[in-house]
Structure 1
Amino acid sequence: MQSNQRATTGAVSADAGDAIDVTETRGLGGARLSATVILMRDAPDGPEVWMQERVLSMPNYPGITVFPGGGVDTRDFPGRSWDDGELWTGRSGVALARQLGLTKYKAHAVMFAAVRELFEETGIFLVVDHYGNLLDDASIYHEHRLALESHSLSLTDVLQHNDLVVSGDLLLPYGRWVGKSERGTWFDTFSFLAAHPEGQEPDGNTGEADDANWFPPGLLIEGWRHGLVRFAPSTWMQLVELAAHDTVADALKAARDRTITPIVGDPVDDERMEEYFHRAPKDRIGRHL
């Protein structure tokens, strides 16, 4: 379904995040709040996920293959006079907050960070127009994508000036992991599952990744078993779970109303992670899938 909205360009000052203390961006134990999006599509041989291998110069998780995502920052929070109906449709922010175990205020920021990071890193824009139609062409918002990357605009700016809204129905909460990067930085990361929107195509045009593409979850796991690809524990477990589904619809159905319980640290005693922690293969540095 095609949106009839045209992108408005130019820097716009936003009140989103006004007077937000940096501590608002912290989650459990002071870890930085972050969000990732597991983007899935159906393919002839089964579902595929969009993955990207982070460049080696990244301070956190260099060379690791990840889902698109990043940290929550102050521009992802609503203004203090926030009304759900202004920039949000579908499932309510209150319902999302209850599932995530967050305040409504932080749940809004986590969802907006997920939408923003996915758009910045892939060009996929999971928003709807004022008719409730999912965009089938996000390319007209390319200048906004660049402005979001440079922090000269917030997602709130882009939505307000193009009559677009975030839909709470498009991204399903999938997991919450509180873990430490190899650098020692702690992240409180919320993962969301989303179906690839028809008409939009991810492009991987991000300076944070050396490579990006669609892969079957099972192939990624086999690549890990042969030392050809590296994952954080959360990514590995989520890929194993997703590999059990025959279609995207099956994966989305299983994710609905999923209980989101935080996993803190490395769950070395979790039997689901036995292969990851106790039978991990030797990495073959410089090799790719």
Structure 2
Amino acid sequence: MAMVMQGIGGRKLAATVLLVRDGIINGRPDVEVYIQERVSTMANFPRATVFPGGGVDSRDFADGHGKEVWRGPSAEEWGVRLGVEPHVAYALVFAAVRELFEEAGTLLAEHTDGSGLVKNAGQYHGYRELLETHEMSLTDMLQSENLAIRSDLIVPFARWASPEGNREQFDTFSFVAVEPEGQCADGNTSEASSTGYFPARLILDGWRAGLLRLVIPTWASLFELSQFKTVEELLEYSAQVDMSPVLDDAVDNPRYAEFYQAMRTERF
């Protein structure tokens, strides 16, 4: 039986990662999230401020080596949590880990010799371009370096499906991850013109001032993120989040009224 490689309504599956850390803003605790502004030459969402992420492709599906390069909750457990078949859940988790490593240099993995989590991801950064150009799969890299992803280092956060009629048709699963000790995200990717950690409220203020371009899934995630003061609070929330897809009815949801009002007045 052929594996399903499409999302709801035939949309392309995609994964994004909200990489977060605890911060102090004006003397008070706040959650900071890693964002990047896409370069103007990108086919999808040029100049938009986004989280690391991208489309799922054939490299992300298990090829018979799943157990060798996977540690943590199983694909079956993830399938239940995400509301998809286990092989799709496997690909989504792999895509999330891969995209985060490609675009931010953060690697959610451990050494298979029992020596623990990867702390110096920089020693593997030579693989990033090979992954971006599809010359190598994440599975190949992990096997070459005796590594395995840690599926417990990300948690589900949201699922957004592009409205009918949009040029970009994606079924996007968002995840939250905390940067592992010893690692430091960077902007060494051809897809971004600028990157960095910022409080969600500050990013939204930049959008309100017309300085940033946000699409609704990113705006909504930032809005939700702005409700939390610590990463611990955020992770507690994420453990219970509903992963039912948000579809066209988002425009009628009062929670997102500010975004759609801005769109109607053509401020952005």
TM (norm. structure 2) is 0.92
For the residue of structure 2 that corresponds to 1:273, the secondary structure is helix
Report the equivalent of 2:147. Answer: 164
Counterpart in 2 of 1:106? Answer: 88
> What residue number does 1:186 align with?
169
* Greater mean deviation of Cα atoms: 130-139 or 106-115: 130-139
Say if 1:209 and 1:134 are closer, same or farther in 2 by CA, change over 3 A.
same
Distance 1:142 1:35 in 2: 21
Structure 1 contact 227–282 (Cα < 8 Å) conserved: no
Task: Map 1:61-210 to 2 at 5 A.
Answer: 61-79=45-63, 81-83=64-66, 85-130=67-112, 131=114, 133-179=116-162, 184-210=167-193
Contiguous gaps of at least 5 residues in structure 1: 1-19, 285-289
1:53 and 1:209 map into 2 onto residues whose CA distance is: 5
CA distance in 2, matches of 1:127, 1:215: 25
Structure number having the greater strand percentage = 2
RMSD after superposition: 2.0
Q: Secondary structure at the match of 2:36?
A: strand
Counterpart selection for 1:234 from 197, 202, 217: 217
Instruction: Compute the displacement of 1:24 (Å).
Output: 3.7
* Structure-2 residue corresponding to 1:17: none
Q: Equivalents in 2 of 1:181, 1:49: separation in Å?
A: 29
Of the three residues 39, 51, 56, the one matched with 1:55 is 39
C-alpha distance in 2 between matches for 1:88 and 1:136: 18
The alpha carbon displacement at 1:239 in A equals 0.6
**Contact 2:37–2:50, Cα closer than 8 Å, also in 1:** yes
Structure holding more helix per residue: 2
Deviations 1:112-136 (A, max 9, x none): 0111111111111111112272211
2:31 aligned with 1:25? no
Q: Please report the TM-score for the alignment, with normalisation by the length of structure 1.
A: 0.85
User: Contact (CA 8 Å) 2:6, 2:13: kept in 1 or not?
Assistant: yes
**CA displacement, residues 15-56 of structure 1 (integer Å, 9 cap, x when unaligned):** xxxxx97x8431111100010000001112221100011111
The answer to whether residue 261 in structure 2 is matched with residue 278 in structure 1 is yes
Call closer, same or farther: CA 1:105–1:214 in 2, change over 3 Å.
same
Q: Distance in 2 between matches of 1:237 and 1:70?
A: 18
8 Å Cα contact 1:138/1:200 also seen in 2: yes
Structure 1 CA distance, aligned partners of 2:202 and 2:61?
37
How far did 1:183 drift?
Answer: 6.8
State yes or no: 1:36 paired with 2:16.
yes
Q: Quick one: distance in 2 between partners of 1:235 and 1:127?
A: 26
Quote the offset at 1:195 in angstroms.
0.7
Q: Which moved more, 1:69-78 or 1:85-94?
A: 85-94
Residues 132 and 99 (structure 1 numbering): CA distance in 2 closer, same or farther, change over 3 Å?
A: farther
Q: Secondary structure of 2:117's partner?
A: coil
**Structure 2 gap segments, 5+ residues each:** none
**What is the Cα deviation at residue 272 of structure 1?**
0.5
